[in-house]
Structure 1
Amino acid sequence: MSEDLLSFASPAIDETARRLPGTDTSAMALVLLLTRVASGLTYDLESTVHRPAGWSWSAWRLLFTLWISGPVESRRAAELSGMSRAAVSSLANTLVGAGLLERAAGEGDGRSVVLSLSERGSAAVAETFRAHNAREAQWAGLLDPAELATLTTLLGRLADAAHAADWIKRR
């Protein structure tokens, strides 16, 4: 991860507080660092694991979602993967063409589409997950076990609270 990506946070917080007194710098630090670490982590996983496997981060998100959930309507796949329906539809075309995904008409509504992994897609996700998880372990290893447990607990609490908040915009 680029040193500039994370080292920018501290001066950005300080300068914002100087220019805009009253800024909630604790909230700013949380969001700025969280998004920058997440971006760096995503870039690292995509460049070291997923691009070499032949797909993008978005493709991985959709493939992994279907690997976990099993066949689901494309609308539900979009919700579970955090992607737009249009992005899932476009990506599904590419992944069907690559032989990783299968598409079938949904029951009940002639317009709905059910997405599922092909046998080849399921095997590819399982194989790639091994490399993905090894890289996750490297990232997790940057913290000691107590720090990792605390961070995981806190992120889970933040995720649960955000899920329950009615003011947060979702896809």
Structure 2
Amino acid sequence: MSAEPAEHLDYLTFVDYAITKTTAELPRVDPIAMRLGIMLHRLASALVYDWESTVHRPRGWSWGGFRVLFVLWLAGPLEAKQVAELSGNSRAAVSALANTLERDGLISREQAAYDRRAVRLHLTDAGHDAITSAFEAHNEREQAWANALTAEEREVLIGLLEKLATSTAATEAKKRF
């Protein structure tokens, strides 16, 4: 790695720079784990930015709103707390997102018969049409990203990501959601 000043770094070259600087100051830091964490975060951020900016924002949705619609499309109608769990949003976020999605006619809410405090979310017909149309465009972007890898590489990467997602660290983190 060059000793180039930080001003000349870009989004990806900063990774090498950060690892070199960090391990020089903190020798017990594991540079491979650090690289894995940084690269996973940067890739996830880039994917979400791409999907949100090309597919979801033009439809007036946030990434969180898309995830709520996606869950309701495939698994709904559901109680709001289950939508939060399946979409990876907080309960408060689902409540706020539901306000916007309901205002836009994409979902409806009703009080659950079994618990007056519980709210069930339903995808409307307009919501169904909107999410299926959006998901086709979303999947086109997924394909564009996936095409950087061979079929075999995709399978290996999926297996590795699933292994990370079911690791002890992931299980412990999910308990804090």
Q: Same fold (TM over 0.5)?
A: yes
Flag the 1:54–1:166 CA change in 2: closer, same or farther, 3 A: closer
Flag the 1:15–1:144 CA change in 2: closer, same or farther, 3 A: same
Confirm whether residue 128 of structure 1 aligns to residue 142 of structure 2.
no
TM-score normalised per structure 2: 0.90
Distance 1:107 1:162 in 2: 37
SS at match of 1:133: helix
1:143 to 119, 138, 149: 149
1:102 to 99, 104, 108: 108
- 10-19 or 36-45: which moved more? 10-19
Unaligned regions of 5+ residues in structure 1, if any? Answer: none
Distance 2:174 2:64 in 1: 23
Determine if contact 2:78/2:122 at 8 Å carries over to the other structure.
yes
1:19 to 20, 25, 34: 25
Partner residue of 1:60?
Answer: 66
Q: Deviations over 1:21-80 (max 9, x none)?
A: 110111111111001100011001100111112211111011111111111100111111
Flag the 1:88–1:168 CA change in 2: closer, same or farther, 3 A: closer
SS at match of 1:110: strand
Distance 2:108 2:118 in 1: 14
Q: Deviations over 1:112-147 (max 9, x none)?
A: 000011110011100110000000000000112221
SS at match of 1:5: coil
Distance 1:48 1:162 in 2: 35
Confirm whether residue 29 of structure 1 aligns to residue 35 of structure 2.
yes
Confirm whether residue 51 of structure 1 aligns to residue 57 of structure 2.
yes
One-letter identity of the residue aligned with 2:129: A
Q: Which has the larger radius of gyration?
A: 2
Flag the 1:6–1:116 CA change in 2: closer, same or farther, 3 A: farther
Distance 2:171 2:63 in 1: 28
TM-score normalised per structure 1: 0.93
* Greater RCO, CA 8 A, separation 6+: 1
Instruction: State, as a whole percentage, how many aligned pairs show the same letter.
Output: 49
Distance 1:4 1:101 in 2: 41
SS at match of 2:154: helix
Taking only aligned residues, the RMSD between alpha carbons, in angstroms, comes to 1.7
| Matched positions, count | 169
Structure 1 residue 162: deviation in Å? 4.7
